[in-house]
Amino acid sequence: MNEQMNRITGASQEETIMKRVKMIASFYHDIKLSRFAQLVGCTSDELEMLISRADTSDLYIKIDRPAGTVVFVPPESTDEVLNRWAEDMASSVSKLEAVSHLVQIERDIA
Query: For the chain, what are the domain ranges?
Result: 2-71, 76-110
Instruction: Dump pLDDT digits (tens) for 51-60.
Output: 888 777 788 8
Quick check: 2 pLDDT over 70? no
Q: Which CATH class is domain 2-71?
A: mainly alpha
Tell me, what's the pLDDT at 9? 64
| C-alpha span between 47 and 2 (Å, rounded) | 25
Residue-by-residue DSSP string for 32-94:
EHHHHHHHHTS-HHHHHHHHHHS--TTS--EEETTTTEEE-SPPPPHHHHHHHHHHHHHHHHH
Tell me, what's the pLDDT at 41? 85
Higher pLDDT, 8 or 40: 40
**Using the 8-state DSSP alphabet, how is residue 106 labeled?**
H
| C-alpha span between 29 and 75 (Å, rounded) | 11
pTM recorded for the entire structure: 0.60
Quick check: 97 pLDDT over 90? yes
